[in-house]
Amino acid sequence: MSRKPCCVGEGLKKGAWTTEEDKKLISYIHEHGEGGWRDIPQKAGLKRCGKSCRLRWTNYLKPEIKRGEFSSEEEQIIIMLHASRGNKWSVIARHLPRRTDNEIKNYWNTHLKKRLVEQGLDPVTHKPIASSSNPTVTTPPENLHSLAASSSDKQYSRSSSMPSLSRPPTSGFNTVSEVSEITSNVWTPVQDGSLGCKKRFKKSSSTSRLLNKVAAKATSIKDILSASMEGSLSATTISHTSFFNGFSEQIRSEEDNSNASLTNTLAGFDPFSQSSLYPEHEINATSDLGMDAQGYDFSHFLEKLGGDNHNEENNINIMNVEYGHDLLMSDVSQEVSSTSVDDQDNMTGNLEGWSNYLIDHADFIYDAESESLEKHFI
């Protein structure tokens, strides 16, 4: 074999990077681009392992990296994704624009994991820890948002092992939004290569806004489902069977479709309270509707999904604004229409598909010009 080992040679430096080293690495990559890490140390005049250079660049020096406080919305997404994917930090990072897997991992280990434990939830399974083994279990949060919203507390107290959690209003996302507004500010990425260790950063308001909307979508789905269960389903104009089975098909094609926690959240089940967001009979009704698919119309559901301009205050209109009803109907239904319908998943199962579709088929794209994040289906 002709290849050289990555990190051979004595005298390779370890430990914290100096400003000088950072400058050398940044300068080299700006000139020659990424890649070929094995040769970078020598060419850039660094006494570092190529792997160390790559990590330094990807986790810290890369200009597009976002650093600093995680917004409540980002926290929600991390928690939801962790519930469904586990410690797949790279997977989670793909859904959080400009966050690195390392940063997410650190944040989980130092903040979110503790918060779940504090709430009496097993950070691995996201299920309640048995009260016998955890006498300090507190009242579980009413929903996911209370966990994320509490993040603002940490800005005021570091000494307490965990910030105190207060139960937010039931329309949690407004609260989250407000919290984000209060705490958000301009974040400062490290762009000059200087060591920014232990710096405290503020949140990105643009990221917060967008992610808040994503989270609000989950709420809207719950609202819609609830409304639908109250009898507002009307005559068929769109085959919900094909629509939803498309998602079911989608989720079946996933390598990992065991994301019950996340999807349960969206489908009327809150993994944090471990209780249904809807009365049991309503969930049963959901299943019944799914089983008896013929003749029902989910255009009401889709309309809600697509946006509700009259409900802007409650952030329910996000689908229309950010994702677009048309976009939804075109992109999604195209995929659906090409999907064979061979079974009749119940509605909960279909919502699983929907939530996973959102997670796995959309990417955030940052528009530097408008300083906004846009979500694109992929």
Partner DNA sequence: AACAGTCTCAACCGCCTCGAG
Partner DNA sequence: TCTCGAGGCGGTTGAGACTGT
Does the footprint of DNA cover residue 37 (CB under 7 A)? Answer: yes
Report the nearest approach of DNA to the CB of residue 291 (Å): 37
Asked if 1 is part of the footprint of DNA (rule: CB under 7 A), the reply reads yes
As measured in angstroms, the least distance from the Cβ of 210 to DNA is: 22
Under rule CB under 7 A, residue 33 binds DNA:
no
Q: Is residue 67 close enough to count as binding DNA by CB under 7 A?
A: yes
Q: Compute CA distances 324 → 46, 319, 378, whole Å.
A: 49, 5, 15
Question: Would you say the C-alpha torsion 136, 140, 144, 150 has a positive or negative sign?
Answer: negative
Residues 6+ apart with CB under 8 A from 288: none
Q: How far apart are CA 84 and CA 307, in angstroms?
A: 26
Q: Is 3 in the site for DNA (CB under 7 A)?
A: yes
CA distance linking residue 378 with residue 331, whole number of Å: 9
Structure tokens at 5: 């080992």
CA distance 156 to 175: 18
User: What CA–CA distance (Å, rounded) separates 336 from 377?
Assistant: 14
Closest CA to 237 of 297, 317, 323: 297
Q: List the structure tokens of 339.
A: 């999907």
Listed ranges 9-17, 273-281, 311-319, 321-329: which one lies at the site for DNA (CB under 7 A): 9-17
User: What separation, in Å, do the N-terminal and C-terminal C-alpha atoms of the chain show?
Assistant: 40
Identity (one letter) of the amino acid at 109? N
Per-residue contact flags (x/-) with DNA for residues 164 to 203, judged by CB under 7 A? -------------------------------xxxx-x---
- Residue 197 CA to chain centroid, in angstroms? 26
Out of 25, 26, 28, 38, point to the residue binding DNA (CB under 7 A): 38
What x-and-dash track marks residues 116-155 binding DNA by CB under 7 A?
--------------------------------------x-
Q: Check residue 63 for interaction with DNA (CB under 7 A).
A: no
Contact region with DNA (CB under 7 A), list: 50-58, 136-144, 206-214, 216-224: 50-58
Give yes or no for a contact between 266 and 222, defined as CB atoms under 8 angstroms apart.
yes
DSSP-assigned beta bridge partners for residue 276? 269
Of 83-102, binders to DNA (CB under 7 A) are 87-91, 101-102
List, in sequence order, every residue forming a beta bridge with 270; answer none if it has no partner: 275
Binding segment for DNA among 6-14, 72-80, 133-141, 235-243 (CB under 7 A)? Answer: 6-14
In the bound state with DNA, the residue whose beta carbon lies nearer, of 109 and 275, is 109
Count the residues of the shown chain that bind DNA, applying the rule CB under 7 A: 52
Taking the least distance from each CB to DNA, the nearer of 38 and 217 is 38
Task: Kindly list the residues in this chain that would bind DNA in the complex (CB under 7 A).
Answer: 1-6, 13-17, 35-38, 48, 50-52, 54-56, 58-60, 67, 87-91, 101-103, 105-107, 109-111, 114, 154, 157-161, 195-198, 200
